Every structure is written in C-alpha cells, then in structure tokens.
Amino acid sequence: MGAGCLRKVPMDRRKFLQTLGLASAAAGLSSAGAACARSAAQKPAGDGRSRVALVTDPGVRRGEEIDAKRVERLLRATLEKALGSANLAGVLPADEVVGIKLNCLAGRPLSPALPLVEALIKILSDAGIPRERVIVFERGERDLRRGGFTPGEHDGVRYLGNDSAGAGYEEEPEISGQLGSCLSRILTRRIGAMINLGVLKDHSLAGLGAGTKNLYGLIHNPNKYHDNGCDPYLADLLAMPVVQKRLCLTILDGLTAQCHGGPGFSPAHAWSYNSLLASRDVIALDRVAWDVIEERRKQTGLPPLERENRAPRWLRTAASRGLGTDEMIRILVLREVLS
Amino acid sequence: MKRREFFALGAALGGGPWPATGAEHPRKDPPRGGTTLALDGERQFWREAAHYQKLPESRVECRLCPRRCQVADQENGWCGVRLNERGTYYTTVFGRPVTIANDPIEKKPLFHYKPGSLTLSLATAGCNFECLFCQNWEISQFRPEQIPARYGFVSPEDLVELAKRQGSRSLSFTYAEPVVFFEYALATARASKAAGLPGVMISNGFIESAPMDELLQELGAVKIDFKAFDDKFYQRQCRGTLEPVLRTMERIRKAGVWLELVHLTVPTLNDDAEQAKRLCGWVLEKLGPDVPVHFTRFHPTYKLKNLPATPPATLERQYDIARKAGLRYAYLGNLPGHEGENTRCHGCRETLIRRVGFTVLENRLREGKCPKCGEKIPGVWS
C-alpha cells in the first residue's frame, strides 16, 4: 500500500498537538487544560470544609522497604477519603497528559517512594489514563536521579527534568504579585493536568517543605524567593493562572517524614510515619501537614516553628487571597488507620 | 569540549558567534534545557567555597556578599551558584563559563583604561542581585545547570592562554556578576596577572570587604554599576542595598585600583536631577574628581518593559550636573556618535579621545598627557 492510501485517523487539533507535546504552546499558557480550574484550591466537602485525608498503614513496610501492594492499598484508601472515590477520572480532565511533580531534593531516603509513584501511575491507568499519557517530572534530571528515578521513558511513562531535551523554561518571565519567573515548559506545554506529589517535611526557611513548596520546582529561579520565609512568593506562585489550571490534586508522601533539618535529609529528625495525605486544597493540606510536623517536634523536644521564626506565614497569605483554606475549623480532616 | 577545540573556538571570538559590538551582553539565545551535563559532569565545576561559616545541623552562612545567606543542606544560596552539600559549601561554577568573548574595553565601559584594547571577557551563570532591567538576565538569573556548559571545564590557565592568542590586553569578569564566581575570578586574575594581563572586574559592588580586598590585590581595574544614590531603588529595583556598594567603591579607590562608574539612567526611577546631584556630590567627596562616571541609556528589557528608553536630553542633563559638581570625566553611554562619548582634557577641554560606540577613532594622548596643555590625564593608558 502506498503512502497515499494510508487511512486517515480522525484527530482533532488538541490530540494532534498532544502527540507533539505542544498542546499548551498552541493554546497559550493559560488556556490548555480544561477542567482543573479552581479545583486545586477549593473543592469543599458537602459542609463547605476542605477535605484532607490522612491515612496510616503501620504495616506498609516490609523491613526497611515499602511494600508495593500495601502502599497501593494505602494510596487508594487515601484518595477515597480525600475525593470520595479512588477513581481519579473524577478530578482529572479527560484526554489530557497528566504530570506528576515529585520532590527529590533530599535524595532517596526522603523523596516520594518509588512504589508509591508506581502505584499512582497504576491508579491513573485504572482511571483511563494510559502510561503514555503520564509524565513524572522534577526540577532537573539530577534531582530525579537523586530520588532513584532514571530520566527517560520507561514502560511508556516519561521521566523528565526541566533540563531534559525538549523541556526547559518559557522564554519570558511570568509576573504574579512579587514573583517573576520563567515557567517550566513541562507545566505549560507538555501536560494538561498536574498531581503534586510532595514529601511531608520541614524546611529551614519556609517552615514547611510539603505541598505548596514543591511548586518551586516549576520555576527557573526559586533561589530568589526564599526571603521572608517564602512569603508572599509561594502564594504568588500558587496564584498563577497556569498553576491554578493544572493543579488538580496534591499528595504528600509521609511514609518517611521529617520534622526538622529540612529540606535535606536529616536522619536524626526523620521518622517512619507510614502515612499518606491528600487533598485538592493544597493550602488546607499544608495546614494539616504543619500540625503533624509540630506534633512530632513536640514529641521530640523541639520548639514550635514559631519560636524559630519560621512558622509558614505564607499559608495565611495564600488563604487570604482565596487560594485555599488555612483555618482548621474549615478543614475536614479524614483520618484512618489501616489494619 | 576538548582543549584543542576550545582554542580553535577562540579564532571566532573577534567577530564570530559573539557580537564584537552592540550592547554589553553575550549571545541573546542561550538555550535552556536540552544538553546540560549529568550529575557527575556538573561536579567537575564544584570547588569548596571561600568565605563561609559552618553552622550546626549541616547549615552554612555565606560570607561572600552582604546578603549573608544561611543555607540548609542541599539548598543554593540566593545567587543560585553556591550550594550546601552536607554542611560543606561549594561554588558550582569554577571553570564553567557560559559565555566568552573578546570585547573592546570600551564595551565594559572603561574609557580611561588601555583605550582601544581588547579584553577577553567571560561570565558564569548567577547573580546576587535581581535588577528588573538586567540586560543579561538570561545568564545572570539562571542557575548553572540550566545553561549548557558549552565549553566544558575551562581552567584559569586556559583563559590566559586564550587571551594571549587573541591579542587581549586584559581579562574581564563581566556580563553577569563576578562576585558570585569569586573563586574562579580570583584564580583567573592571579594567573592572568602573572602572565602580564591584568584582570578587570565589572560588578555591582555588592560584596563583603574581605573577599573584595583579596580581589583588589590581583585586579587592574574595576567598573562598578552605581545604580542609584537611593537605597529604596536598590531594594525595589535590584533586591539589594546601597550601603555595601558605597563601601566597596571607597575600598577600590583606597587600594589604588583604577575605578570607573556607570549609572544606568532609568526614566522615572532614578533620573531626577536632585538624585544626580547627590550622587555626583558623593563621588566627588569620597572618590575624588578623577573617577569617570558614565551615564548610560536604559532600554526596556526583562521585567521592566513598561518604561521607554531614556531620552538623550535626560542624559545630557545628568552630564551637565556632573560637570557642574566638579567631576572631571563624565560620559554618556548607549548613544553612539554623541559628543558625550569623547574624552576631553579637564584642563583645557581639548578633545583627546574620539569614540563612536565602542570604537576609538582617534587617541591624541601623549604619554597620558594632553598634547595641548600638557595636563596629566588620570587613567591607565598603556
């Protein structure tokens, strides 16, 4: 059969561009990605409160290793609590490429666990999002490697850093409040929806290096925005339209958590928390994470973050702008311990 | 890049891939992402940093610039090029220039330092300021791993060798901010001084005294961007502060190293006459009348695109203010062909050096003196 006889497969413009990984490039920074708008910030429970799931499985480890089956079960239970269903089709826009933003800065001991990432990809697959439509990404390939991930394509899933071939940053800075940064092209052009997969840990300047702080990996110049405990810069970043549009869900890996000495790994302050947290409201999620960190600090004789002048004030700033909920009275924390 | 390839590349520096004239910036199209080195490749550029203090819990305090960043394990300093790894602080740009060019010294600009000569000019990524009008933000506001290491490792000795082959008469640390690549600049300045090629620093002057004193022992000239005589301007437009810059300029003068100043005049932000009077008054009092001050034209760029280019009349007004204040050598910049580019004798006003842009058309100085009245003209002329 000659080339001229090839059957044409109907393909609309969006699908065609997705094939090229350029959907957003054509649509502009703020228009691609259909369904996540505002959902990242505010998806209240029926009573108006933001839902945050905090689910623990004391048996999630087999020796030192994370048990793949148990962590998948734990993740499904966490999503069920946070979303009302473990089916991610309900929170992700159809037909979009889904990005999973990791936080591997601290190296393998305090990065999202490999079995957890694989479980999330499997759950996405169950929701009708094939592995070929998943991009796992980080600030740079170096960070991916530190977390135990190998850049490149593996079983259909692409693992990219912002410095990977074809990635990079937008040519011009995007201004939001006091923040002005070139955004990751993975965010703006390669994906239509984002799951923010951070780590439950302390941060020496921001107070908390969990959900919102992980978004610093989306910009080229986070080193310029750590002054004043990252306030208001984290709120400025979260307020960016493209971030609001893409961010559908935040999950925190609390299998190993750390209450002091972050963002790097500090064995003396890390503990096996064996828990996952999830919410569509990243500010509410970080508010709950802060409580968990403070509780652990108290147990281990450390002063509250406020006494070290690094309470995460940016939570209030973000909440005051309507980017999420930081008052515990307006947050529904759904806890469960799996047996 | 192999050593042989690196030196072969030098053949193109005069007018090849880098512009020999034009604004003070390297290539405008540094690729972002795509071909950066793997983890182990980047490590070849790491050296333990100078001027830092170890703190408990693997933290460090950087003592290189007045920002004094306290940096946790695995984090960068504000500049983006210094990294704490397990309590040891590293510069990550030693031997990692992102641009090299053989420029006229007038491009820096230095008008009283070896006029008409070429200076091998280089920069690494990073800066300890974030000026909203930065012409070179594509390298100054990125971290090293975000800009491909197109030359591989380039030792200080390699740079000296390249400068010699290119006929350069000095070696300039420029484009971004040499303060943040202090260790590389210092080692290169030492090597080039030993080879008879003075080092030249083009800087914001935002540096602690101890490292600046080390550099001054090796340098032949310094140009400081004196952005405004207004601390609020430094805070709001540059995310820095004024006082350390003033201190640096005084130290340079006391050290006897040749100094010139540039004031980029930005419409509505630092162009008022009263501020120009205060600035010129401070220069006269603290640095003396012989320090050249260049008032240069702003063009919209980076995060300051909502303002127009500086009207020539504004610059001419500043020129007049400087002259009336008693400064002997005021210049106008980014106005090619303007009379304000020329050097005139402070004694008899005879035109001594005629320039257009970065090109010297005529140099009438005789052993550093005015040929008409015999007045000694301050500068380094040979």
From the DSSP assignment, how many helices (H) and strands (E) are in chain B? 10, 17
Indicate yes or no: pTM above 0.95.
Answer: no
| Beta-carbon contacts of residue B279 (< 8 Å; ≥ 6 apart) | B226, B228, B229, B263
> Three-state DSSP class for B158?
helix
* B73–A164 CB contact, under 8 Å: no
Backbone angles phi and psi of A292, in degrees to 5: -65, -45
Q: What is the pLDDT of residue A45?
A: 60
Across the interface, of A164, A175, A262, the residue whose CB is closest to B303 is A175
Backbone angles phi and psi of A279, in degrees to 5: -165, 160
Q: What is the pLDDT of residue B13?
A: 59
Q: What is the pLDDT of residue A15?
A: 42
- Distance of residue B81 Cα from the nearest chain A Cα, in angstroms: 9
For residue A221, the chain B residue with the least C-alpha distance is B142
* B34–A205 CB contact, under 8 Å: no
pLDDT digits over A263-296, tens only? 999 999 999 999 999 999 999 999 999 999 999 9
Q: What is the pLDDT of residue B41?
A: 83
For residue A172, the chain B residue with the least C-alpha distance is B302
Contact with chain B for residue A162, Cβ under 8 A: yes
Q: Which CATH number is A177's domain given?
A: 3.40.50
**pLDDT mean across residues, chain A:** 89
Please report the DSSP string for B238-285 in residue order.
ISS-SHHHHHHHHHHHHHT-EEEEEEEE-TTTS--HHHHHHHHHHIII
**Rounded percentage of chain A residues whose pLDDT exceeds 70:** 86
Best B78, B79, B177 member to test A by mutation, with max A CBs in 10 Å, is B78
- Distance of residue A267 Cα from the nearest chain B Cα, in angstroms: 11
Domain membership of residue A148 (yes or no) is no
The label of the residue with tokens 């959900």 reads A211
Measured distance CA(A169)–CA(A137) in Å, rounded? 13
* B141–A264 CB contact, under 8 Å: no
pLDDT at A25 over 70: no
| Beta-carbon contacts of residue A276 (< 8 Å; ≥ 6 apart) | A53, A54, A55, A74, A75, A78, A116, A251, A252, A253, A254, A255
Sign of the alpha-carbon torsion through B332, B335, B340, B341: positive
For residue B81, the chain A residue with the least C-alpha distance is A223
Measured distance CA(B139)–CA(B15) in Å, rounded? 21
- Distance of residue B64 Cα from the nearest chain A Cα, in angstroms: 16
Report in angstroms the alpha-carbon separations of A127 from A89, A133, B183: 5, 12, 53
User: What is the arithmetic mean of pLDDT over A49-61?
Assistant: 97
Which residue type does A266 have? Answer: S
User: What is the arithmetic mean of pLDDT over A190-200?
Assistant: 98
Domain membership of residue A57 (yes or no) is yes
Chain B positions in Cβ-Cβ contact with residue A204 (cut-off 8 Å): 59, 70, 72, 75
Q: What is the pLDDT of residue B26?
A: 37
Interface of A with B in 205-244 (CB under 8 A): 205, 220-221, 223-224, 226-227
Backbone angles phi and psi of B219, in degrees to 5: -90, 155
* Beta carbons within 10 angstroms of residue A10's beta carbon: 5
Q: What is the pLDDT of residue B15?
A: 35
Contact with chain B for residue A185, Cβ under 8 A: yes
Q: What is the pLDDT of residue A46?
A: 66
pLDDT at A23 over 70: no
pLDDT at A8 over 50: no
Q: What is the pLDDT of residue A116?
A: 98
A188 neighbors A211 (Cβ within 8 angstroms): no
pLDDT digits over A212-254, tens only? 999 999 999 999 999 999 999 999 999 999 999 999 999 999 9
Sheet holding B88-91, edge to edge: B47-48, B88-91, B82-85
A176 membership: H or E segment, kind and range = strand A174-176
* Beta carbons within 10 angstroms of residue B211's beta carbon: 19
* A266–B33 CB contact, under 8 Å: no
Domain membership of residue A23 (yes or no) is no
The domain of A255 spans 31-134+166-337
Across the interface, of A223, A260, A264, the residue whose CB is closest to B76 is A223
Pairing label, strands A152-154, A157-161: antiparallel
The residues of chain B scoring below 70 in pLDDT are 1-2, 8-40
User: What is the arithmetic mean of pLDDT over A207-215?
Assistant: 98
For residue B238, the chain A residue with the least C-alpha distance is A224
Q: What is the pLDDT of residue A5?
A: 31
Domain count, chain A: 1
Strand partners, B258: B221
Domain membership of residue A10 (yes or no) is no
For residue B141, the chain A residue with the least C-alpha distance is A221
| Beta-carbon contacts of residue B196 (< 8 Å; ≥ 6 apart) | none
